[in-house]
Chains A and B, each alone.
Chain A
């Protein structure tokens, strides 16, 4: 079974440009999460999709970030316009359907390292 995949693995862009990150979750996983780690900080939650719906987007830093999951399969995270502080590693994770009161393991992708110059 293929794991979570992310594209690209690295992206270097200039301040003000636009970048789109893609995540393909494990097949059959309804839940998809985006996380980000900036240098020296902990990995932070950005948002959570259940199928194509945004369940929780409380971690999105500002309106320069737009996440979509059309059709409930892969997801994209667009940063427009990118700023220097957006540099970091963006992780995607997916999990199966949630069971009430239980935790379903989130499987992480390899991450996309974004550098904004």
Chain B
């Protein structure tokens, strides 16, 4: 079983709509959870992290964590064309980051 699983996409969302990205992880020892954004040919950039069950909001982004279900999600409200990128879900497991393959998000103008 993959440690961090994501749908590879592409996920196409109209501009202004809500983009919903999902992720599951296998190791219950995972301590913290992240969403990275990666533009083509660029390095991953941390956009959200969450430690506790529930929701965490930062601007247009909301991260959601459910440890019982081993599920993490990212909502992007009012999607913009500049949000088009690959979104990597990741977990911190004993101080190394375990990444998923990423979901390609395409915002349609």
Which residues of A are at the interface with B, using a C-beta cutoff of 8 A?
33, 35, 41-45, 48, 55-56, 58-59, 91, 98, 101, 103, 105-106, 108-111
Contacts and interface: CB of A to CB of B under 8 A. Distances in A.
Nearest to B4: A42
Contacts of A106: 46, 97
B99 A42 contact: yes
Nearest 8 Cβ contacts at the A-B interface? A108-B43, A43-B99, A45-B96, A103-B32, A42-B101, A42-B99, A110-B43, A108-B44
B43 A91 contact: yes
B43 A103 contact: no
Nearest to A92: B43
B44 A43 contact: yes
B104 to A, nearest CB: 13
Most buried by A among B42, B43, B46, B51: B43
16 contacts: A33-B96, A35-B97, A42-B4, A43-B44, A43-B99, A45-B97, A45-B98, A55-B95, A56-B95, A91-B44, A103-B31, A103-B92, A105-B46, A108-B43, A108-B45, A110-B42
